[in-house]
Structure 1
Amino acid sequence: MPQPRMMLVVTGDDFGYCPRRNQGIVDCFQAGGISNVSLLVNASAAKEAADLAKRHKIPIGLHANLSEGIPVCQSLQQASTLINQRGLFHGKIGFRQVLERGQLSMEQVEQELRAQVRLFRELTGHLPHHMDGHQHVHVLPEVREVFAQVLSDLRIPYTRVPVESGLRSCPWLPSNFQRFYTQVEKDAQDSIPVFTRYGIRGSQLKLQARCVQASVHTARAVHLPPLRSTHSQQRDKNTDKAQRGAVVQTPALPDEPQRTKRQAISAEPTALDPSQLTDVTLTSYCKTKESSELIHRALLDNDFMKHLEHGQILTIMDCMRPTSLTKGCCVIQEGDDGSTVYVLEGEAPQCS
């Protein structure tokens, strides 16, 4: 008896996140590595991504986002249960915590989902071929019912059911990841009857190209204290920047192997439970418009920080404070912890 045919669909998520990620995903599609893409309509490069999909005839769906960045629906951008005091979505862990406390309005969830579908249609000229949730929010309790209703109303037939086959047989996976993705799998299993009831079809096995880039993985700095998640390469002479006239001393060590520039960082915590990060308190400092723009440009020009989430970049900008240094002083030397970011206003520092 012939075996039923099975089609493997590999989706490039986070399309629209940034230009480099867009190009990496397009490269993967052209190389035959992925089947389709999911668009983040509230991301900074969403318009470019939609144009690339049209140009290269890439099947495109909606990566509905309720956890990162800002809402698409304007009425929800000022005061809603979907955003925190900074006007941003609550984040991957924060969204789940607010939902668990019963503080999330499902009416507002539906408003935002429909607004994102409308924007998707404006960008692409058609409805999504499929629709799934950024960071798996679409399979969460209560949210999945609203999500399925929206898909049914708009006749979007496909979604993703993120059941990870063999997840429990991955001893190398840190315990906090195990807990998180085990819960995701449970939520996914519980969502199947809901999607089935609404006539929505979904994959039982998720194999997704996440954060695809041409030859490297982009940084996913999610739910780390921002100033600790961005300084793993502070010893690179081009990364550490100091105030005008300051000297940065980096004594050479003859027996030390030559360092090579890292292409990416992994900013997912390996030894820290993300739930512990909610109590982190950060101090904001007032800045002029010129200083804010200078810091923003410097962060986006940094090979590591440019791939942080938009909310984390804003947090880093808020937490940076002005520092005056005398000419000739040592700002940082090799072997120091490197937990401070310096943005130069003026001449480049001397490195010796």
Structure 2
Amino acid sequence: MPQPRMMLVVTGDDFGYCPRRNQGIVECFQAGGISNVSLLVNASAAKEATDLAKRHNIPIGLHANLSEGIPVCKSLQQVSTLINQRGFFHGKMGFRQALQKGQLSMKQVELELRAQVMLFREMTGHMPRHMDGHQHVHVLPEVREVFARVLSELQVPYTRVPVETGLRSCPWLPAHLQRFYTQVEKDALDSIPIFTRYGIRWPDVYLGLSTMGQNMSFPNLQRALNLALAAGLSGTNSRSPGSDLPVVTAELMVHPGYPSYPQEGGCGEGPDDFSQSADRQHELNILRQPALLGLYCQKRVQLCSFKDL
């Protein structure tokens, strides 16, 4: 390939969620459809996932989880503001509601984030090169300050800032998703000054909200890629090694896999509906299409991991 116009990290989220997710993610990596994974250390198949990453040399980072399953930090598993009466995290929307009501201890958030980084190191043998948030909890108010401080102090250099060009002009997104994604973007934009102050880095552009599940298609990915390239090339200061040509850095968030079996997987409560649906396999099938891999070559997009940025 000539000098790339874009260095693209394609991150398979939720690695470790269940054996069938792990299987699909490994197959996707081997087919060239993803270049990086993000591990849920409190998930039921996390140990298997780290073994697979080592065996297949898959670049792996941490998918920090404050919303699904059971805390990693032992002192937070019995009584803490982060769990409900059943001992589980409050859930994607429950976490946000508790945060909005001022019911969550940021000290406990910090304890849990640090415990997850340490468990990641124990499981993989190294610190994460990147760390993002399951269900985008890392960009929420108050949490983002704690998150950035933990990354800075533990020297985890990269995170995710989910601000996607063209997201507001996606007619295929239902109203409830458009509302949620718009709020995610607002939270992410508000996180930028904080992440910057702590010296945290992230790619120039982000893709993935408009192409999740059944919304992933070749035309939608092509559209997102074209918008990201245009936005990145107009704003980036990066250069290809040994060249004056600009190179955009980007991350595409994806969720490939095979549908979870009922009662097999998850983070302690079993797999959720999205994980048991056909959406995961749909993403897997699209990501390893020869047409998509051909588009990367045509657009001079080089897949890479965070350690290559």
Q: What is the TM-score when the length of structure 1 is the normalising length? A: 0.61
Aligned residues: 226
Match of 1:12 in 2: 12
Q: Displacement of 1:165 after TM fit?
A: 1.9
- What pairs up with 1:320-331 in 2 under 5 angstroms? none
Match of 1:311 in 2: 269
Q: Deviations over 1:24-49 (max 9, x none)?
A: 10111111111100000000000010
Find the residue that maps to 1:63 and give its secondary structure: strand
Does structure 2 retain, via aligned residues, the 8 Å contact 1:53–1:60?
yes
Distance 1:43 1:113 in 2: 15
Does structure 2 retain, via aligned residues, the 8 Å contact 1:161–1:206?
no
Find the residue that maps to 1:82 and give its secondary structure: coil
Q: Deviations over 1:208-259 (max 9, x none)?
A: 453311xx5x36xxxxxxxxxxxxxxxxxxxxxxxxxxxxxxxxxxxxxxxx
Q: Displacement of 1:311 after TM fit?
A: 2.3
Q: Displacement of 1:167 after TM fit?
A: 1.3
Does structure 1 retain, via aligned residues, the 8 Å contact 2:43–2:266?
no
Match of 1:277 in 2: none
Match of 2:157 in 1: 157
State which structure, 1 or 2, has the greater radius of gyration over its C-alpha atoms. Answer: 1
Which one-letter code corresponds to 1:94 in the other structure?
Answer: G
Match of 2:43 in 1: 43
Unaligned runs of 5+ in 1: 220-299, 315-352
Does structure 2 retain, via aligned residues, the 8 Å contact 1:14–1:210?
no
Match of 1:78 in 2: 78
Distance 2:176 2:112 in 1: 30
Distance 2:267 2:54 in 1: 26
Q: Displacement of 1:108 after TM fit?
A: 0.2
Distance 1:131 1:184 in 2: 17
Match of 2:91 in 1: 91
Q: Which runs of 4+ in 1 moved over 6 A?
A: none
Find the residue that maps to 2:37 and give its secondary structure: strand
- Out of 158-167 and 144-153, give the one that drifted further: 158-167
Q: Displacement of 1:91 after TM fit?
A: 0.4
Distance 1:46 1:60 in 2: 12
Find the residue that maps to 2:269 and give its secondary structure: helix
Which one-letter code corresponds to 1:21 in the other structure?
Answer: R
Distance 2:87 2:163 in 1: 32
Match of 1:210 in 2: 254
Match of 1:32 in 2: 32
Q: 1:197 and 1:209, CA in 2 relative to 1: closer, same or farther beyond 3 A?
A: closer
Distance 1:67 1:73 in 2: 14
Distance 1:34 1:4 in 2: 17
Q: 1:209 and 1:20, CA in 2 relative to 1: closer, same or farther beyond 3 A?
A: farther
Tell me, yes or no, if structure 1 residue 181 matches structure 2 residue 225: no
Match of 2:142 in 1: 142
Q: Displacement of 1:174 after TM fit?
A: 1.2
Which one-letter code corresponds to 1:311 in the other structure?
Answer: E
Which one-letter code corresponds to 1:6 in the other structure?
Answer: M
Q: Displacement of 1:306 after TM fit?
A: 4.4
Which one-letter code corresponds to 1:99 in the other structure?
Answer: L
Distance 1:100 1:135 in 2: 16
Find the residue that maps to 2:9 and give its secondary structure: coil
Match of 1:342 in 2: none
Q: Deviations over 1:33-92 (max 9, x none)?
A: 111000000000000100111111111000000000000000000000100011000000
Distance 2:4 2:253 in 1: 25
Q: Displacement of 1:150 after TM fit?
A: 0.3
Find the residue that maps to 1:178 and give its secondary structure: helix
Does structure 2 retain, via aligned residues, the 8 Å contact 1:34–1:209?
no
- What pairs up with 1:246-261 in 2 under 5 angstroms? none
Task: Give identity over the alignment, percent.
Answer: 77
Unaligned runs of 5+ in 2: 209-251, 273-309
Tell me, yes or no, if structure 1 residue 168 matches structure 2 residue 168: yes
Q: Deviations over 1:305-350 (max 9, x none)?
A: 6467742679xxxxxxxxxxxxxxxxxxxxxxxxxxxxxxxxxxxx
Which one-letter code corresponds to 1:79 in the other structure?
Answer: V
Q: 1:27 and 1:140, CA in 2 relative to 1: closer, same or farther beyond 3 A?
A: same
Q: What is the TM-score when the length of structure 2 is the normalising length? A: 0.69
Which one-letter code corresponds to 2:63 in the other structure?
Answer: H
Q: Displacement of 1:173 after TM fit?
A: 1.1
Q: Displacement of 1:201 after TM fit?
A: 0.4
Find the residue that maps to 1:7 and give its secondary structure: strand
Match of 1:67 in 2: 67
